[in-house]
Amino acid sequence: MKKIASSFARFQVASSFFKLILSSLVIGISLVGCKTEKQSHKTANPEVCPETSIYPADADGEFDPMADLSAVPCGTIRLWGSAMPKSFNMWEDYNSFSAGLMSLMFEPLVSLHSTEDRPIGILADRWEISADSMTFTFHIDPRARWSDGVQITAEDVQFYYDVIMNPQNLTPIFKVGLSRFERPKIIDSLTLSITAKDVHWANFWEAAGLVAFPKHVWKDADFNQIRYRFSVVEGPYQISDFREERYVELSRNANWWGFHKNWNRGKYNFEKIRYRFMEDRTKALEAFKKGDLDVYAVYTSSIWMKQTDFDAVQKGWAVKQQIFNREPIGFQGMAMNLRRDKFKDVRVRKALSYLMNRQLMNEKYMYNQYFLLNSYYPDQWPSHDNPHAENYPFDMDKARALLTEAGYIPGNKGMLEKDGIPFTISFITASEDMRHLTFYQETLQKAGIQVSIEQISQSTLRKRLDEADFDMYWIAWGSSRLNDPEASWSSATANDPGTNNLTGVQDPIIDSLIHLQKTEFDLKKRNEILRALDTRLTEIVPYVLMWQCDFHRVLYWNRFGMPKNVYAKFGREDESIPVYWWLSTEKRQKLDAAMAEGKELPLEASEVHYAE
């Protein structure tokens, strides 16, 4: 299941980099035999790496504290891309994988610093904010070039705004933020200003998130049809090979203009990044074990507990680690489509929450590695627990009482009905792992609810969600260092195609809190409003909240160099590995020798906790 976040926040974090998903979504190793393993290993990264890295002598500016300046650009890394999305164009099909891909090819004007809550120039080298905090002026770095050598101009950034706001383009998530602004004004070829229509704390960050699109290439193109091919890009990588349903490969642009900025020193070190598409995470794990993938991020507790202590891990050839960092924690749950009559009564939604035996599922399927959620913004509360919210322990009696209050009574064969209409629920999913859904299905049926599960393709799933054509759907949402709840919970977004307001929440109290936080520039006070909004969400119950974890699990072959904290301070594997890791000649040689001789390598730490 891919993780998704708000468009603005997600792209900001991705750009200071990752990025679905993720986020996003998983990657693996076991021994099929020494011969097979040696062969896979020898062909994985045959490149000869240079001894030192070479960057332009005129590179200037501050360095990224997450990057290791000793990293040497070299080699290929092979990652799991999960199921192939219907488009790599994240602006018209927002998903964590595509967002990560795009962040390697297109960058914003300004992004969040990798370790501090302050802006850092990316495409822009400087900016000004008007006294009333309504107008933002950005100066594009004069060195900025498209991959075809054409200079990036203010017109390209204005063109981005025009493309996103074009009513014919399927970019609803991104329209929410940009609708706060007038069309950007061109001051000169490298300078533009953009003025907000109303005061909003996020105006600077939304404006800073403007991207350049290649107007000289796309001006006559149908943006909705730009899906898998991007002939001209701005970032450090470009798609060089693509096989539908098989893989996509990115190649590093050694002449990328961004290497004239010290901020990119020690980053984007792989000559090639290949994402292999496989919908089944178990098959992806087997591919990792065979040596066909270099990294496998584990999102399934049973896999982590039962399938990751194989011989190569025991010998130190592959590394098994839990990574604890400061990534903002989102939530996951069963989204209930409040647009449908059966879910309009909050008593029904509460009953469905009481009918999910999360404690037992956590124990049975996830080995108690997760904490149970009672919040939509768990990182806003100590120990991730909202003290004002119900925890919804499994309680069949409470659920039945609530359903009775809502008008549901036993009918034919004891199944619940209201006004002669049976209570039916359909879950949609593209997942192969049905354990949790079938467990929940059985419990609901015991309570008298008729439940079906529709297994559909990823593309069909996306279409159904875009059109709000579902009853319930299990989804995981990411969070952000700068939380703006409008796109996810505002009534104004409830019926937009492809909205992040998946459940269709329309609540005047939520709307008033969203409006209140818009004009609050103090982060501490804004978070107080966010906690109040969170409490209100727990009262109206748009999701059957499930569980979450505060660490990352990963397997990787022990041939890579990486920062001391393994992952970025606020990032996941997809925000860290393509950006900060590199192929280490020393580690690769040691791994080659150990595998050839059947010897062990020293084991790496099983846990890594972020430290400044």
**Model confidence over 98-144: pLDDT tens digits?**
999 999 999 999 999 999 999 999 999 999 999 999 999 999 999 99
**pLDDT grade, residue 233 (50/70/90)?**
very high
Task: Please write down the HEC assignment for all residues of 5-45.
Answer: CCHHHHHHHHHHCCCCCCCCCCCCCCCCCHHHHHHHHHHHC
Identify the band that residue 48 occupies on the pLDDT scale cut at 50, 70 and 90.
confident
In degrees to the nearest 10, what's the CA dihedral of 102, 105, 110, 114?
Answer: 80
**214 vs 571, higher pLDDT:** 214
Scanning 380-522, the segments in alpha helix (DSSP H) are 396-405, 435-446, 458-466, 486-489, 508-518
pLDDT given at position 95 = 85
- Average pLDDT, integer, range 348-374: 96
pLDDT exceeds 70 at position 21: no
Look at residue 16 in the predicted model and tell me its pLDDT.
Answer: 32
Backbone angles phi, psi at 80, to 5 degrees: -90, 130
Tally Cβ neighbours within 10 Å of residue 411.
15
The pLDDT tens digits of the residues spanning 268-306 come to: 999 999 999 998 888 999 999 999 999 999 988 889 999
| Cα–Cα distance, 218 to 236 (Å, whole number) | 20
* Confidence (pLDDT) at 177: 87
- Local confidence band at 41 (pLDDT 50, 70, 90 cut-offs): very low
Q: Which alpha helices (DSSP H) does 66-105 contain, by range?
A: 96-103
Average pLDDT over residues 419-444: 96
Max distance between CA atoms of the chain, in angstroms, equals 80
Is the confidence at residue 87, as pLDDT, over 80?
yes
Q: Is the pLDDT of residue 13 over 60?
A: no
Averaged pLDDT, 314-324: 97
Residue with more model confidence, 220 or 432: 220
Supply the pTM of this predicted model. 0.82
Q: What's residue 46's pLDDT? A: 57
Kindly state the average pLDDT of the residues 230-256: 97
User: Tell me, what's the pLDDT at 109?
Assistant: 98
Q: 75, 610, 35, 95: which is closest to 294 by C-alpha?
A: 75
Q: What is the pLDDT of residue 49?
A: 80
86 vs 612 pLDDT, higher one: 86
Any bridge partners for residue 192, and if so which?
138, 186
**pLDDT over 80 (residue 343):** yes
Token readout for 429 is 């999913």
Structural domains in the chain, CATH included, are 26-96+235-326+552-609 (3.40.190.10), 110-225 (3.90.76.10), 331-548 (3.10.105.10)
pLDDT for 325 equals 95
31-35, 233-237, 337-341: least confident range:
31-35
Using the CB atoms, write b or e for 119-129: b if 16+ within 10 Å.
bbbbbbbebee
**Do 49 and 244 contact (CB within 8 A), yes or no?**
no
How confident is the model at residue 33, as a pLDDT? 28
pLDDT mean across residues, the chain: 91
The reported pLDDT for the residue numbered 40 is 41
**pLDDT tens digits, 524-567:** 999 999 999 999 999 999 999 999 999 999 999 999 999 999 99
- List, for residues 465-498, the tens digit of each pLDDT value: 999 999 999 999 989 888 999 989 999 999 998 8
Q: State the pLDDT confidence band at 47, using cuts at 50, 70 and 90.
A: low
| Strand-pair partners of 425 | 451
Contact, 602 vs 314, CB < 8 A? no
More confident residue, 302 or 356: 356
Percent with pLDDT over 70 in the chain: 92
Write phi, then psi, for 561 (nearest 5 degrees). -90, 155
CB 554 within 8 A of CB 308: no
Confidence band of 50 (pLDDT split at 50, 70, 90): confident
Please give the pLDDT value at position 460: 94
How many residues does the structure list for the chain? 612
Written as six digits, the tokens of 472 are 């319930």
Q: Which two tokens stand for residue 366?
A: 């996830």
Residue 34 has pLDDT above 90, yes or no: no
